[in-house]
Amino acid sequence: MSFRAWVNRLLIIFLTLITFVFILVGKKLKLQTDSNSTPNFIPTDARQARLLVREAGIWSPTNVKLQAVKQTEKLQSFKEKPPLRNNQAAKVPDLPLPSFRLTKAFKEYRRPADDIALADPSNYGERYTTDINGVPVHNQAIIVLHETGDSASSAISTFQTPHENSDEQVSYHAIIKLDGTVVYTVPPQKRAFGAANSVFYGPNGPETVQTNPNLPPSVNNFAYHVSLETPPEGRNEKPIHVGYTDAQYRSLAWLIAQSQVPEARITTHKAVDRSGQKNDPRSFDFEKFLLLLRLFRQPVAVN
């Protein structure tokens, strides 16, 4: 065989090997991309989870609107039911919302300690774009304030326990401990199960959405739930207790200041509850909270 033929053969072998390597590398990159884009990605450590929560959307200063996600269940069988009288989302036009900017005080404030304690997936779900009758829902976000009733660790343990029974599923998006530590338990773009039978009465009129045919309508589809850890002296059935720590009020104001949710759409579990059984957060000082919130954010002037 001539020298030239040997060179051609070696060149063909070399090109074949290079092509094979590129194919393997391409498949590996595709697998990594597919893995990273999986919607049900669960962080493997606190650092990843913290990043997921902070970049999730509602609390980002550059993207503060509540994100509605595509409905993941087939609801065709429920569309034959008559429209719900207490689902006002599609009937009341949204009033214009003010816009807020973070203040110098916020930027100079030392970020409170935080932690991640993700709830079990059975205790939270997706935000729906339609109700059970297929009617589009487009409620503006609200913030619902709670208290744990017991220790923060007890609440977290409950959230991390699987609950297949829908009557037992419960969660908040965040818990603020007595020392001011913010514990993120449900990503903000997900629907936490913080208020069962509930309705919000605000500037747009009564708002509630039914997403489960077996449960009454609630505010969960458009709510962000934040709970304050109850002080040890208040872990009882009394109507009031000693109140919350200064650190809790500061962390709560710091957290909510990063949203564009107006004060008129910040409410309590007691105010939205329709069962008559919820009275939290007990002994909450709304004026103290609002003073801190206004210190951390200010409305943007509109021409």
The pLDDT value given to residue 98:
79
pTM: 0.74
Rounded Cα–Cα distance for residues 254 and 114 (Å): 12
Output the CA torsion sign for 143, 147, 151, 156: negative
Rounded Cα–Cα distance for residues 155 and 55 (Å): 24
pLDDT band with cut points at 50, 70 and 90 for residue 75: very low
The pLDDT value given to residue 95:
63
| Percentage of the residues of the chain whose pLDDT score is greater than 70 | 68
Strand partners, 101: 298
Rounded Cα–Cα distance for residues 208 and 81 (Å): 17
Q: Are strands 223-228 and 142-147 parallel, antiparallel or unpaired?
A: parallel
The pLDDT value given to residue 36:
31
Strand partners, 223: 142
pLDDT tens digit sequence for 209-253? 999 999 999 999 999 999 999 999 999 999 999 999 999 999 999
Q: Are strands 266-268 and 142-147 parallel, antiparallel or unpaired?
A: parallel
